[in-house]
Amino acid sequence: MAYFFQWNCMFRFFFNRVITTLVIILILALPCKSRAQDSLANLPAQWRLEDCIQYAREKNISLATLRLTARSAEEDLLQAKAGVLPNLTASANQSIVNSNNANPVVGGFQTQASFSSSYGLNSSVVLFNGGYLKNDIRSKEFSIQSANLSVKETENDLTLSITQAFFNILLARETIVSLQAVLATSQGQLTQGQQRYDAGAIARKDLLQFQSQVAMDQYNLINAQNTFKLNTVALKQLLLLPSSYNLVVSAPDTIPVKQAQPSLSEAQNEAMQTRPEVKNRQVEIQRSQIELEKAKASVLPTVSLNAGLASGYSDNQSAEYLWQIRNNFYQLLGLSVGIPIYSRRVNRTNINKSKILLQQSQLALLDTKNTLNQEVEQTYINLLNAQAQYDAAQTQLSTSEEIYRITNEQLKLGAVNTVELLQEKNAYVEALQAFTQAKYRAALYNKIYEFYRGLPVVF
């Protein structure tokens, strides 16, 4: 009995500890959950493309990291500007020296401690260093420009990714609507086929074909719904939204498919003038030129002005403390010149490496321009192809829809069989899907082409 009572007490003890721990975890988790819900409550009910882009620019981790890099570059600039100012240091020393001194009265040596102190202020300023400090300030200014342009480059990449994901959602959603209409038609045909089969007007084989068509349309609809979910997840991941959040995108009233666009050469010229990657490479060239000037300054003399104030006290003297401080006060003003004579080729190596860095920056600019020209040209070709495919798909859809309508009427009159009807229906469904894809493909490349020209992505 005592054994059972002991185990019962232990079980109650551990059970109470577990319950207490769970309660503490829930209490700590409630504020976090509440804060998360509050942050999600401020989000739009339906997301436009502009909302997605703006939100991503505010929340993206890579962009936040690059913005911190830009802030660090600003701190470097402030330090470089302070480098042309004189510095100021203060010093104070207190010391006690214990030594053996000769005793003139009784002879021999005696131990004696002495106390001394010294105080000073020192300052120096660089008067000439071959323009190193001035060029260092300019270099830091270019570093800030480069950091800010890197932020814009990442924003552009993120904008393109979000735009593609957004259009994929719109495409999948419209495909779902189309396939739902197709499935409804198939189910209606199955109902009519069942009635005709019951009346003995068609064979069981024809009824099974109607059932097979309904199953195929359901399969296509499920695939489209899964594609829509996956595209929505992809956009939520780009926006860093939680998986539990219900993201609903807002479709524009009209999809701009065919728009008047400038020629390829005009678009490439506009891209060269507006794209941040080109400006960033140009800034890097300027910065490399400044770094070369800084390296050349290392072989020039450095002239500095030095100034100092100092005083001291020692108890070995009979004068009072304040008198010694006043009497020992001295001022220093000096001019120093440092002339580099031989640095074991350090300065020469730095100059040569700066020249190499400048050449690399120039090659990087050429490579960026070539890559940008190729991207704009590829987008232009894709745009022309997409617009041509849209025109062809529109004609094909109109023709297939009319043929399918006529075939459906002929089936009611017994002029065609079930196989012919289903063949025309499948052709109509394929034409419908091709038209939907061509429409959004043309609209997407219109936006991308405008974006390369420096225009914002908006509906």
pLDDT of residue 147: 97
Assign residue 105 the CATH number of its domain: 2.20.200
Residue 222 and residue 92 share a domain: no
183, pLDDT greater than 60:
yes
pTM score of the predicted model:
0.83
Has residue 458 been placed in a domain? no
* Mean pLDDT score, 322-337: 91
Residue 134 and residue 27 share a domain: no
* Mean pLDDT score, 165-187: 93
pLDDT of residue 33: 46
Has residue 401 been placed in a domain? yes
pLDDT tens sequence across 25-49:
454 555 544 444 555 667 888 999 9
Neighbour-count burial of 156, counting CB atoms closer than 10 A to its CB (0-12 exposed, 13-18 middle, 19+ buried): middle
Question: In sequence order, what DSSP letters do the residues of 151-184 get, joined into one string?
Answer: HHHHHHHHHHHHHHHHHHHHHHHHHHHHHHHHHH
Residue 234 and residue 360 share a domain: yes
Of 313, 339, 365, which residue constitutes the final position of a domain? 339
Residue 320 and residue 252 share a domain: no
Residue 19 and residue 119 share a domain: no
Residue 122 and residue 58 share a domain: no
Has residue 459 been placed in a domain? no
Residue 277 and residue 176 share a domain: yes
Residue 118 and residue 262 share a domain: no
Residue 432 and residue 313 share a domain: no
Residue 364 and residue 332 share a domain: no
Question: In sequence order, what DSSP letters do the residues of 282-322 get, joined into one string?
Answer: HHHHHHHHHHHHHHHHTTS-EEEEEEEEEEEEETTSSS-HH
Helices (H) and strands (E) in the chain, counts: 10, 4
HSE toward the beta carbon, residue 134, CA cutoff 13 A: 7
19, pLDDT greater than 70:
no
Strand pairing category for 87-102 and 109-128 = antiparallel
298, pLDDT greater than 70:
yes
Has residue 271 been placed in a domain? yes
Higher-confidence residue: 211 or 411? 211
Q: What percent of the chain has pLDDT above 90? A: 66
Residue 391 and residue 315 share a domain: no
Residue 426 and residue 376 share a domain: yes
Banded model confidence at residue 23, pLDDT cuts 50, 70, 90 = very low
d(CA 370, CA 256): 29
Has residue 116 been placed in a domain? yes
pLDDT of residue 21: 47
Nearest to 255 by CA among 438, 380, 453: 438
* Mean pLDDT score, 200-223: 89
pLDDT of residue 274: 95
Cβ-Cβ contacts under 8 Å for 42 (sequence gap 6 or more): none
Cβ-Cβ contacts under 8 Å for 343 (sequence gap 6 or more): 298
Structural domain containing residue 318: 87-127+303-339
- Collapse the DSSP code of 228 into the 3-class scheme (helix H, G, I; strand E, B; otherwise coil) and give the result: helix
Tally of domains within the chain: 3
109, pLDDT greater than 70:
no
pLDDT of residue 143: 97
pLDDT tens sequence across 146-174:
999 999 999 999 999 999 999 999 999 99
pLDDT of residue 414: 74
Assign residue 424 the CATH number of its domain: 1.20.1600.10
pLDDT of residue 206: 84
